[in-house]
Structure formats: structure tokens, C-alpha cells
Amino acid sequence: MKCPRCSSENISVQIINEQHYKKGYGCILTILFGVFYWAWLVFKWGLKYLFYISYLIFKWFLIFPVKVIWVIIRKEKITTLNMRDPEFVTKIMRKANKIYNVQKSFAVCQSCGYKWEKR
């Protein structure tokens, strides 16, 4: 390897670790996104409760009596599941405001001090 400036072969290669911080969005974009997000939540929860109320009516008048009879006949204990957050939710949450390490290798000429990135 030769120096592009002085053509010397007295060169050392160094690996430099750079840290980059993943920044968030700006204030205006966050406020704008927040407005659309809250509008979406109102719409979504409105539909959810509309379907939930119709489900409750169906459940209490048709499904619930059948379940009660079935539980009385079978005499089974109702067990609850230990639900934990899925792994992908924690991975997504960890990406925000994270510091990333980037390693670059630089070649430095020992004769003239010229530095360039080695690719």
C-alpha cells in the first residue's frame, strides 16, 4: 500500500470506533404525528367499543348460558395463562434513542501524516 500524497510505503492502519446516536423526529413532525395518532385512536377505539358492545350482547344472551352449563357439567378449573410481551415489541422499543457503533479503518502515512479511509 502506498501513500497517495508522498508515495511512501511506511503506512499504519488503525480501526476507529465512531458512535452515532439515532435522533428522534423534530418537534413539528412529532406534534403533527400526534394529532393524527390521537384521531386514529379515537376512531379505532370507537369501532372497537361498537363491536365490543354487540359482542357483549351476543355473549350474555347466547354464549354465556351455554358456557355456564358446560362448566357446571365438566367441573373444570378455569386456568389463566401467563401472558408476556412478545419479543418483537421489546426489540422495537429498544431501537428508539439508541447509540450505534460504526467501525471504520483509516490508513495513516508515517512519513507525511496524511490520513485516508481504507475501504
Bridge partners of residue 20, in order along the sequence: 100
Contact 22, 97 (CB under 8 A): yes
* 80 band by pLDDT with thresholds 50, 70 and 90: very low
Which range has highest mean pLDDT (5-9, 58-62, 78-82)? 5-9
- Whole-number pLDDT of residue 107: 92
pTM of model > 0.75: no
Mean pLDDT in residue range 98-104:
77
- Could you tell me the strand order of the sheet in which 11-21 lies? 11-21, 99-109, 115-117
Bridge partners of residue 15, in order along the sequence: 105
Count of other CB atoms within 10 angstroms of residue 108: 16
The 8-class DSSP code of residue 70 comes to H
Bridge partners of residue 115, in order along the sequence: 108
The 8-class DSSP code of residue 2 comes to -
Mean pLDDT in residue range 9-18:
89
Identify residue 53 by its one-letter amino acid code. I
